[in-house]
């Protein structure tokens, strides 16, 4: 399995990626991978430190003859999104990722791969370990908790970093140079409800088989959202057949488009009529999403007896609020062609034991538009009697088309590959905007290998693209700017 991965070119990078993927590294549980990186730096006798929040910094002197170059910061995040298929038996807290090769791609067996951002981490490790790669003075910054709050970047105090140029290795198309990104904010709606007994037939409603994916980079692709689909089914069932909701468990992480949702209900009305209307609506939804979600499955199954359900007023408030909550692209950018400006992901819906919790991630490259959409969501949930909090806000990264390092990257890309790179901004949340608050003098850029399906079990990284990315990185380091 991983023996095949280690034999891929460039072997220095793939071996480090295999080493990294043997270490469990969920967001907010990075103790093991932090120690792994500290041990790595110390084993190379390089200056190695951790800051107050757990970010790891490793410094390496310039190779001979390159001492006059500006210090370059190589930056990637240590944590990874943990998602798995329903039928995959896997413990992210104890197991290493199981990888395999499929044509020109490396994938994982039923789980996320961790190429986001493990390929960037592995490339930095390979540079730090090498004794033959020409490079300027280097400062490797490995941040924590990028995927669930960017608390590593937020917690990095001013005055720690010494470099003047930052290469963020966390984008996912190898022909792109990224010079800007969206900011984000978490919108969380909560309320309690009274439970009451009710008699009737009990069912489990199942929505699964969706692709899922990155709630920023893929929000414009028209992918199905399991929470919105489930709500549509339950809204119909409630309004036409008097169903009562006992529990809902939909989605997982805020930055992942929800792939699955499960609900337990009690049917008050006629079973045959309910099943007929349910089947009719599922056929309509399947037809709507036939091109983007061919594996979508929506089904009913009998379940064990249900003792208590949500009071009717709270149920109606829940269904109306989730229906009203915007999901997907809200606005496209007027400044950059084909760039999503503002979006929302209705990421998580939990209903059980008298409590409702709904989690959204709102993104925008325009801060005022981000807040406006967050307030729109707040208003929708307010009408349903929810308490709404806006937390975890992080800034976007404003493009600088006059960047010195951008000119280097554009020139090197054309020299190596015979065509111009695409200079873009992305709708994902990169750490550059946050780091720039305490380090406004640092010239930042982002690039990386081609990764598809990030934040889902279909995540994969292109083997040939990793080779391209590696050659590009080495060329950039070799001709980095002088002081």
Q: Which residues are catalytic?
A: 79, 146
Among 309, 373, 342, 326, which Cα is nearest to 231's?
A: 326
Tokens of 463: 């083997």
Give 61's DSSP letter: P
CA angle 471, 473, 475 (to 5 degrees): 70
3-state secondary structure of 467: helix
In degrees rounded to 5, what are phi and psi of residue 432? Answer: -60, -40
**CA gap 303, 306 in Å, rounded:** 8
**Residue 167 CB partners (closer than 8 Å, separation 6+):** 72, 73, 74, 75, 405, 445, 446, 447, 473, 476
Is residue 111 within 8 Å of 457, Cβ to Cβ?
Answer: yes
Largest CA distance in the chain: 82
**CA gap 57, 435 in Å, rounded:** 14
**Residue 54 CB partners (closer than 8 Å, separation 6+):** 30, 34, 144, 145, 152
**CA gap 145, 27 in Å, rounded:** 5
Element (H, E) at 375: helix 367-383
Whether a cis peptide bond, with omega within 30° of 0, leads into 117 is yes
**CA gap 33, 52 in Å, rounded:** 16
**CA gap 123, 76 in Å, rounded:** 10
**Residue 141 CB partners (closer than 8 Å, separation 6+):** 55, 56, 57, 73, 74, 75, 156, 161, 166
E strand map for 4-55: 47-50
In degrees rounded to 5, what are phi and psi of residue 100? Answer: -155, 165
3-state secondary structure of 188: strand
Whether a cis peptide bond, with omega within 30° of 0, leads into 315 is no
């Amino acid at each position: 399995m991983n023996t095949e991965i280690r034999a891929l070119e460039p072997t220095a990078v793939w071996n480090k990626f295999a080493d990294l993927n043997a270490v469990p590294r969920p967001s907010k549980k990075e103790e093991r991978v932090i120690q792994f990186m500290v041990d790595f730096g110390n084993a190379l006798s390089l200056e190695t430190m951790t800051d107050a929040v757990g970010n790891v910094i490793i410094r390496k002197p310039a190779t001979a003859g390159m001492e006059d170059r500006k210090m370059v910061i190589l930056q990637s995040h240590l944590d990874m999104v943990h998602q798995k298929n329903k039928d995959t038996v896997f413990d992210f807290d104890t197991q290493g990722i199981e990888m395999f090769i499929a044509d020109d791609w490396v994938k994982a067996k039923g789980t996320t791969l961790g190429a986001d951002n493990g390929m960037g981490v592995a490339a930095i490790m390979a540079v730090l370990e090498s004794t033959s790669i020409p490079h300027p003075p280097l400062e490797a910054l490995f941040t924590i908790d990028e995927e669930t709050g960017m608390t590593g970047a937020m917690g990095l105090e001013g005055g720690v970093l010494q470099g003047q140029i930052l290469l963020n290795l966390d984008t996912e198309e190898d022909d792109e140079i990224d010079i800007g990104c969206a900011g984000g904010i978490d919108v969380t709606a909560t309320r309690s409800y009274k439970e009451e007994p009710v008699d009737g037939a009990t069912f489990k409603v199942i929505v699964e088989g969706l692709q899922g994916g990155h709630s920023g980079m893929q929000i414009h692709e028209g992918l199905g959202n399991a929470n919105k689909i489930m709500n549509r089914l339950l809204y119909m069932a409630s309004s036409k057949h008097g169903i009562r909701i006992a529990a809902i468990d939909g989605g997982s992480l805020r930055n992942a488009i929800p792939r699955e949702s499960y609900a337990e209900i009690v049917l008050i009305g006629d079973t045959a009529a309910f099943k007929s209307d349910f089947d009719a609506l599922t056929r309509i939804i399947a037809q709507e999403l036939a091109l983007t979600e061919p594996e979508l499955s929506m089904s009913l199954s009998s379940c064990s007896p249900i003792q208590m359900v949500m009071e009717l007023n709270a149920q109606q408030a829940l269904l109306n609020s989730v229906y009203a909550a915007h999901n997907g692209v809200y606005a496209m950018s007027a400044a950059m062609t084909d760039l999503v400006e503002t979006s929302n992901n209705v990421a998580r819906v939990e209903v059980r034991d008298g409590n409702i919790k709904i989690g959204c991630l709102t993104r925008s490259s325009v801060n005022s538009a981000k807040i406006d959409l967050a307030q729109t969501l707040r208003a929708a949930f307010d009408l349903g009697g929810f308490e709404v909090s806006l937390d975890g806000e992080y800034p976007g990264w404003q493009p600088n088309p006059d960047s010195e390092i951008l000119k280097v990257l554009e020139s090197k890309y054309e020299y190596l590959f015979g065509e111009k790179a695409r200079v873009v901004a992305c709708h994902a949340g990169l750490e550059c905007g946050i780091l720039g608050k305490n380090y406004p003098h640092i010239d930042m850029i982002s690039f990386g290998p081609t990764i598809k399906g990030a934040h889902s079990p279909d995540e994969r990284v292109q083997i040939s693209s990793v080779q391209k990315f590696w050659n590009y990185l080495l060329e950039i380091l070799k001709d980095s700017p002088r002081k």
